[in-house]
């Protein structure tokens, strides 16, 4: 592990001023404020910030002040990254790092980027999603001379153009990749394979991106070490379990105002996301049924008090159907045909194929957009199914992601960067790695002050008894 982590104690962090919440503004909300923007493509505009720097491409540099305020508020909620910045005043573990990144561009990402810079790195950035960019934040970054190429509402062509502008630069070559979804990595593989000679590692955040990396690795084509941030304990447990426990309620309420009490809900999949959804809905008085393919998760569902069923058995009585599987065609047209009038259908899993939405685009069914992100699909006999976000992720489309969760992820990304960049030759091969346990624990410890939580420290005698280092790691790597 990077020397940088070794001699520090977890507990004597100064608590930053307590977070004022900030919205992680999402497409839906932002659309109201952007309505008056002009329609010229950013690619067609001459762009310069107030210092005369023009190495970026964004919607509107004039929004920089507004964006800066968003970033400042986000900083208050991301004490772990701010603590890293503070430590970086002494040493710069990323000095010399040239990071190319491709993630959602939000206030929280801006805090991450500016932290990476404070740690010594140079950054160039594109968006990993054509809708998710907060234009005002991109403006704030551009104003601070970060090379950002992103705006809300890119075309697919824009999307790849932006990525290309990040990597295809004269006189600058990345040596680290921070990716979310694997598109950036894919682009470099396809267009600039030689670049990998200088790249020390990839940090990947998403399920999809990680999956691609494992496939590359299996095929023997992965030519640099990669860090799988997605499967880190903190990410899995916090991003999925705890975050979804809240966002399932939030997403359903904001879109449908449904009352949860007494509703019959089917949750497909009892992984971390499913566990979070089930716990929340049960607590709100819903009657929850679970479907599973994995007998271990199935048995957990039983012990947690949920009837384990096949979807067909309960489809007629369901008021709400939620997919959390990562699988495809979990809810089929046949299921949709059998649902009762008013049934709400939505997806909390990781792709947009869990509900076979395509099967609903047939002439005999009428679609009626009743609100943003809410469609009524109407059968010939008048039956209406309430489809949310057209089957895309409810938690991304219709609710906000708490900054606290984003803070955990961003801190993990920053530490993974530092670890890969500073790892001695040979520690990491051309393979996909999980974050070392100790760093997972470090991320967690950086977030405890938020809760005024006080860790107990092992005495020497106890550490010896347990055969542990007093500073951790406290659990074997396989522990979850």
- Six-digit token string for 145: 């001379």
Element (H, E) at 176: strand 176-179
Q: Are strands 287-291 and 307-308 parallel, antiparallel or unpaired?
A: parallel
Residues 6+ apart with CB under 8 A from 458: 466, 468, 470
Q: Which position among 105, 249, 267, 432 is part of the footprint of its own copies (CB under 8 A)?
A: 249
Q: CB-wise, 135 or 445, nearer to its own copies?
A: 445
Do the annotations mark residue 169 as ligand-binding? no
Is residue 397 part of the contact set for its own copies (CB under 8 A)? no
Q: CB-wise, 153 or 326, nearer to its own copies?
A: 326
- Six-digit token string for 128: 């990993």
Q: CB-wise, 105 or 233, nearer to its own copies?
A: 233
Q: Are 135 and 151 within 8 A, CB to CB? A: yes
Q: Which position among 90, 220, 261, 363 is part of the footprint of its own copies (CB under 8 A)?
A: 261
Instruction: Tell the smallest beta-carbon distance from residue 352 to its own copies (Å).
Output: 13
Three-state SS sequence of 341-390: CCCEEEECCCCCCCECHHHHCCCCCEEEEEECCEEEEECCCCCEEEEEHH
Q: Which position among 41, 47, 168, 450 is part of the footprint of its own copies (CB under 8 A)?
A: 450
Is residue 146 part of the contact set for its own copies (CB under 8 A)? no
Is residue 327 part of the contact set for its own copies (CB under 8 A)? yes
Instruction: Tell the smallest beta-carbon distance from residue 287 to its own copies (Å).
Output: 6
Is residue 307 part of the contact set for its own copies (CB under 8 A)? yes
- Six-digit token string for 344: 């709400």
Please give the Cα distance from 285 to 184 (Å, whole number).
44
Site for its own copies in 354-383 (CB under 8 A): 371, 376, 382
Instruction: Tell the smallest beta-carbon distance from residue 183 to its own copies (Å).
Output: 20
Q: CB-wise, 178 or 386, nearer to its own copies?
A: 386
Between 187 and 216, how does the x/- string for binding to its own copies read (CB under 8 A)?
A: ------------------------------
Is residue 38 part of the contact set for its own copies (CB under 8 A)? no
**339: region left, alpha or beta (phi > 0 left; psi from -120 to 50 alpha):** beta
Q: Are 179 and 209 within 8 A, CB to CB? A: yes
Please give the Cα distance from 111 to 291 (Å, whole number).
39
Q: Are 122 and 99 within 8 A, CB to CB? A: yes
Instruction: Tell the smallest beta-carbon distance from residue 57 to its own copies (Å).
Output: 29
Instruction: Tell the smallest beta-carbon distance from residue 404 to its own copies (Å).
Output: 5
Is residue 430 part of the contact set for its own copies (CB under 8 A)? no
Q: What angle do CA 424, 115, 58 make, to 5 degrees?
A: 120
Q: Which position among 14, 36, 296, 380 is part of the footprint of its own copies (CB under 8 A)?
A: 296
CA nearest to 55, candidates 154, 131, 132, 146? 146
Q: CB-wise, 169 or 302, nearer to its own copies?
A: 302
Do the annotations mark residue 375 as ligand-binding? no
From the annotation, which residues make up the binding site for substrate? Answer: 106, 180, 205, 235, 239
């Amino acid at each position: 592990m990077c020397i940088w982590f070794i001699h520090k104690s977890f507990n004597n962090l100064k608590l930053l001023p307590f977070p004022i919440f900030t919205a992680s503004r999402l497409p839906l909300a932002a659309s109201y404020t952007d309505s008056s923007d002009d329609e010229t493509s950013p690619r067609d505009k001459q762009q310069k910030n107030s210092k005369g720097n023009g190495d970026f491409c964004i919607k509107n540099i004039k929004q920089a002040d507004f964006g800066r305020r968003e970033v400042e508020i986000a900083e208050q909620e991301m004490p772990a990254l701010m603590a890293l910045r503070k430590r970086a005043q002494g040493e710069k573990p990323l000095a010399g790092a040239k990071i190319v990144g491709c993630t959602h561009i939000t206030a929280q990402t801006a805090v991450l980027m500016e932290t990476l810079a404070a740690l010594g790195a140079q950054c160039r950035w594109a968006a990993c999603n054509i809708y998710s960019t907060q234009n005002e934040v991109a403006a704030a970054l551009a104003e601070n001379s970060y090379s950002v190429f992103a705006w809300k509402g890119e075309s697919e062509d824009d999307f790849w153009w932006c990525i290309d502008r990040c990597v295809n630069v004269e006189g600058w070559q990345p040596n680290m990749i921070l990716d979310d979804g694997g598109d950036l990595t894919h682009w470099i593989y396809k267009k600039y394979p030689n670049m990998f000679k200088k790249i020390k590692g990839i940090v990947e955040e998403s399920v999809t991106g990680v999956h691609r990396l494992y496939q590359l690795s299996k095929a023997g084509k992965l030519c640099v070490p990669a860090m799988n941030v997605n499967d880190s304990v903190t990410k899995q447990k916090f991003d999925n379990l705890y975050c979804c426990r809240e966002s399932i309620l939030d997403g359903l309420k904001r879109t449908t105002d449904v009352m949860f009490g007494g509703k019959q809900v089917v949750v497909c999949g009892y992984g971390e996301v499913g566990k979070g959804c089930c716990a929340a809905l049960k607590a709100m008085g819903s009657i929850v049924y679970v479907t599973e393919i994995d007998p271990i998760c199935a048995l957990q569902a039983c012990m947690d008090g949920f009837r384990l069923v096949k979807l067909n058995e309960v489809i007629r009585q369901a008021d709400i159907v939620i997919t959390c599987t990562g699988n495809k065609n979990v809810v089929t047209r046949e299921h949709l045909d059998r649902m009762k009038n008013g049934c709400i259908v939505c997806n909390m899993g990781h792709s947009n194929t869990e509900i076979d939405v395509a099967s609903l685009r047939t002439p005999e069914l009428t679609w009626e957009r009743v609100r943003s992100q809410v469609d009524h699909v109407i059968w010939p006999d008048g039956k209406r199914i309430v489809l949310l976000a057209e089957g895309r992720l409810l938690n991304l489309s219709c609710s906000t992601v708490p900054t606290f969760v984003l803070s955990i992820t961003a801190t993990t990304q920053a530490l993974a960067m530092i670890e890969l960049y500073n790892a001695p030759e040979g520690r990491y091969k051309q393979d996909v790695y999980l974050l070392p346990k100790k760093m997972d624990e470090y991320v967690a410890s950086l977030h405890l002050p938020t809760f005024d939580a006080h860790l107990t420290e092992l005495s020497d005698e106890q550490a010896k008894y347990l055969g542990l280092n007093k500073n951790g790691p406290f659990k074997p790597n396989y522990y979850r």
